[in-house]
Every structure is written in structure tokens, then in C-alpha cells.
Amino acid sequence: MRSLTGITSPRSTESVLAKVGKRVKWLWNVLSHIILGLAPQNTRSNPVPSRQQLFARPTSPSLIRTAPHRVDTSQFWAVLIGIDAYESWPLQGCVSDASLMKNFLIDDLGVPKEQIQCLLGSHNLIPDDPLKPSHANIVDTLYSLIHNDEIQLGDNIIIYYAGHGSSYQCSEHSFTTPNCRPELCPVEALCPIDRDTLDSHGRWVPDISDRELNALFTEISRVKGHKITFIADCCHAGGMSRNLETTRPRWISPSGHTDADNMLHVADERLKSFPDYKSVLSKDWKPDMGSHVVLAACRDYQRASETLGTEGYRGVLTERLVSILRSDAWNKDTTYVGLTKLLNQSYSQTPVVAGDHKCKQLWYPEGV
């Protein structure tokens, strides 16, 4: 209260402030109970105190992860391919490998699941499944990365393949395909699930050559940037493999119906519309290693294998890779080269990395 002189009495002020404080406290308690009554209950094992939970700063889902190092994966995109159900020489662990990679990307790195495309060829595959890893679907899916407007320049793109690989040497085809040009060989290839089958036009389906993949990566890089990581859990060379029931090599002989020349002509017909395209049929063709980094399962004289464990068949590379990425064995300064050193635990299968950006930090952190 004010005195006649207009000066507030200190004693009166304390009384008024005390009443106001009690009133504010009462209003806050009422408001808190109303808000808490509307808020969902926290059922986590270590709940945040209720009021702290209500006003806590939200955390981006892309930064929530169980792996030891935070990575902002809101702008990560992935294509995961796993093929078991080949008509000849089927495999057992490729679909589970691709699924393991998917779980790692979503649960550990926090990649939005809608930004992951999966082409899986299981033994229970429906013949007309639009997502089966056929030659056409694999190539179409990679093309879709170029035209996806949601993928911005500089976003991370992960392309993963688990399945058979092969290698074409013209000497192997000299009797059956005399038109095979020696200057084109050797050609390494990924094997789609429908290889050596007839397409709707009655033509034999070829493998997918390394030259076609490289041209696709070049075009993706031109539009979306070079932060492309290609992981290949397969092999391309015909080295000796261990003859064990629990080990299967991920290598298969070249197609019996198509050769390197045919495979490259099929690719060239589609690729020639790209700007600055260097023909895969050119005698002086060279790979563009500035467009991506490739992590391969083994050296050219080795064979990538899948082994039988307690959870079924798994690729040696994939199982080891995910195990390391879920551990504290790597850190924010680990490069792709450094990652291969962590992976090199087997004399029979030595992972290798290639690409102009192989000395960059893993997943290309901001500004790298």
C-alpha cells in the first residue's frame, strides 16, 4: 500500500509480494496438472522428470542412434540389393545381409526408412514382384536417384549390393562368341536375379557391367554430388575358394548366353543420352573414380564368401562391417581407408577401397 507521501511502505510491500507469490504458485500447480493430464505417459525405463519432459528440447530422429558417433543422416539415401534366389548356384545370406544393412541404417544411424529402397531376391520371391532385383529394376532404381528431386546436391547416397559377381575374359568366349572384342575385356559384372533368362522380347538378360555402373555413378555424381558410397559384398575374379560346407563363394561363371560385347551394347543404348557420356564401348574407356568411393569385399585374386553362423548365412564383409560400425572401433576422424584397416581381419578375404575420395572421413561429414 502507498502512504500519503506516495512512498511505498517496505513492510506493506513484503506482505503484498508474499500474497502474489502464493497466488502464482497456486496457478502454476493448477496449470501443471492440466498439462500433465493431457500429455502421454512416459514408459521408458529411465523417465525424464515430468516437467522437464514437457519443456525439454526435442531431438531430431536423425540424430538418435546407438552407434558411438553421431551423424546427421536426415539427408542420407540408400539403395540396398540382396539376391539369394539365382536359378543356378543360389546363395543363402545376401537377403539377410541387405536386411542387416537396412536395420543398421534405420536403427543405428537414423536414416529415414522412406529414403531407403530395397530390391530383395529371396527364395520365396513372387515372380512378378515389382521390387525383385532384376536387371531392369536394378538399373531403373539407380536411374531414379538422378531424377529424385528430394535428393539435394551434396546428400549422402549409399548403394549396397550382396549377390554373385562375375568376370568376363574374351578368351573364355572365343569359341562361342567370335565377335567378342579383346580390347573390351576384362569386364567385371554384377549378376541380377534374372541373368540367363529371356526377357519379354525374347532376348537373353545380360549381367550389369562395371562400366555401366561407373557411368551411372558419374551421372548421379554430376547431378547430386560425389558423396556416393558403393559397398559390394561379392567378388569378380575366379580365385580358389575353400571347399567347406559352411562357406559359399559369391562368384559365378560368366553368362552362357551373352558376352561382354553384348552386355556393353545393351548398356550403351541407354547411357548414350547422358551429357558428356563416354561410351562404354570405347577402346580407351577409363573409369571415373572421382564420382564415388567403392568398398569391395576382397581383392581380385580372392573370392568373397558367406559363412554359416548361429543366425544363418552372412557375408563375411557385411557382418564384419556392421559390427565395426556399431562399435567404438571407429571415430569421427576415421576415413574409408582407415575403415578397411579395421575390416582386414582375414587372410582369405581382404576388403579394399578405391576412389579419389577414399581418404575422406566416413560418411562425408559436413563440409568434407
Strand partners for 160: 80, 231
Residue ranges covered by each domain of the chain? 10-55, 73-354
**What's the CA gap between 351 and 296, in Å, rounded?**
6
**Residue 63 DSSP symbol:** G
pLDDT score at 225: 98
Q: Which of 107, 117, 199 is nearest to 150 (CA)?
A: 117
Quote the cell numbers at residue 334. Answer: 576415421
User: To 10 degrees, the CA torsion angle through 16, 22, 27, 33?
Assistant: 170
3-state secondary structure of 306: strand
Q: Which portions of the chain are predicted below pLDDT 70?
A: 1-69, 170-185, 236-251, 346-347, 367-368
Phi/psi of residue 320, nearest 5 degrees: -70, -40
Phi/psi of residue 81, nearest 5 degrees: -125, 125
Residue 89: CB atoms within 10 Å: 13
pTM: 0.77
Query: Could you tell me the CA-to-CA distances from 115 to 12, 103, 118, 134, 150 in Å, in that order?
Result: 66, 13, 10, 21, 10
Output Rg (C-alpha) for the chain, integer angstroms. 29
pLDDT score at 44: 40
Query: Could you tell me the CA-to-CA distances from 356 to 161, 216, 291, 337, 360 in Å, in that order?
Result: 21, 17, 8, 11, 9
Residue 38: CB atoms within 10 Å: 7
pLDDT score at 52: 32
In contact, 83 and 191? CB cutoff 8 Å: yes
**What's the CA gap between 159 and 98, in Å, rounded?**
11
pLDDT score at 207: 95
- CA 9, 10, 15 angle in degrees (round to 5)? 100
pLDDT score at 181: 64
Order across the sheet with 76-83: list the strands. 116-121, 76-83, 156-162, 228-233, 293-296, 352-354
pLDDT tens-digit series, residues 245-299: 445 556 677 887 888 889 999 999 999 999 889 999 998 899 999 999 999 998 8
Classify domain 73-354 at the CATH class level.
Answer: alpha beta
pLDDT score at 256: 79
pLDDT score at 129: 87
pLDDT score at 59: 37
63-69 long-range contacts, Cβ below 8 Å, gap at least 24? Answer: 63/110, 64/110, 65/107, 65/108, 65/109, 65/110, 66/107, 66/108, 66/326, 67/108, 67/109, 67/325, 67/326, 68/327, 68/328, 68/330, 68/331, 69/330, 69/331, 69/332
